[in-house]
Structure 1
Amino acid sequence: MKLIKNLFVAGAATILLAACSESGPKEIATGKDQCENCKMTITEAKYATQLVTEKGRNYKFDDISCMDDYTTSNTEVAQNSDEYVADFPTGIFFDRSTATLVQGGSIKSPMGGNTQAYKDKAAAEKAAAELGATVIQ
């Protein structure tokens, strides 16, 4: 009986630690989540971005340009925060500092930033050529 109790306590502690240590980008609930900057509902997850503070607070945005506007206006929040962008082909979030950004051409993003993020540079260059866009980062 004591073994079962110890296993239960250990399992519960593991679950609690995992829940407390979960930081980073969260899943976007399209049609429900709201952009922190412009307050519009996020409708296209492949253009969404996220800012995660060092305390783990998550801010969601509907466009890279909205996150940029927000971080410029809210430097105290943005300081020491991590920025995440959605890989346009997959929708999976990754660190913005490693992204290749494609802008312009026939890209039409929700707030007019008209920028797509790519984890794979070759995919970004191919998309830029097909869309008449420019690789900016």
Structure 2
Amino acid sequence: MPYMKRVVFVLLTICVLNSCNSNEPKPIKLNSDSCDNCKMTISNGKFGAELITEKGRHYKFDDIACMVKFAKSGTTVSTKAFYVNDYLQDNTLIDAKKAFYLKDGSINSPMRGNRAAFSTQQEAEQYKTKLNAAPSSWDEIFNSFQ
């Protein structure tokens, strides 16, 4: 029996260590999770964002602007991944570096970052006129906030 306990312990330890290094985002709990930058409750599933550090810590945000400002503030260790909510799929996180962006126009995000992310370029193009918004890129967004 002691052998089985050791095996179970080793397997559980491996599972825990693997989950800590996850590159996958954790779902944002709307109206429950708070923004790690501005401390407001995250309530809009179109604009949330998540940052994952190299050590596997997850930080959640109510706006892309909050995430970028937090990343540039020096309060975290090296960033492993950035995720943003898909504007068309409520509370669905997508890779920030692969997303297609629109900015300004009638986009009204919680902290006035006024950026919307889309999974495909086609979707962004379809909403560009509807939102009276201009195309943007991840690099431009990352460099536009201090």
Return the TM-score normalized by structure 1: 0.83
Instruction: Give runs of ≥4 in structure 1 deviating > 6 Å.
Output: none
Q: CA deviation at 1:16?
A: 6.0
The CA distance in 2 between the partners of 1:95 and 1:17, in whole Å, is 26
Kept after mapping to 1: 8 A contact 2:32/2:42: yes
- Aligned to 1:46, the other structure's residue is in SS state coil
The CA distance in 2 between the partners of 1:119 and 1:78, in whole Å, is 28
Kept after mapping to 1: 8 A contact 2:52/2:79: no
Cα-to-partner distance string for 1:24-58 (whole Å, 9 max, x where unaligned) = 21111111101011011101122100000111100
Kept after mapping to 2: 8 A contact 1:51/1:78: no
Q: 1:78 to 1:135 in 2, by over 3 A?
A: farther
- The aligned amino acid for 1:85 is V
1:84 is aligned to 83
Return the TM-score normalized by structure 2: 0.78
1:98 is aligned to 98
How many residues align? The count is: 129
- The answer for unaligned runs of 5 or more in structure 1 is 1-5
CA RMSD of aligned residues (A): 2.2
The CA distance in 2 between the partners of 1:53 and 1:32, in whole Å, is 22
1:108 is aligned to 108
Pairwise mapping of residues 1-137 of structure 1 onto structure 2 (< 5 A)? 13=11, 17-22=14-19, 23=22, 24-74=24-74, 77=76, 79-90=78-89, 91-137=91-137
- The aligned amino acid for 1:83 is F
- Aligned to 1:67, the other structure's residue is in SS state helix
Q: Which structure features the higher share of helix residues?
A: 1
Kept after mapping to 2: 8 A contact 1:100/1:121: yes
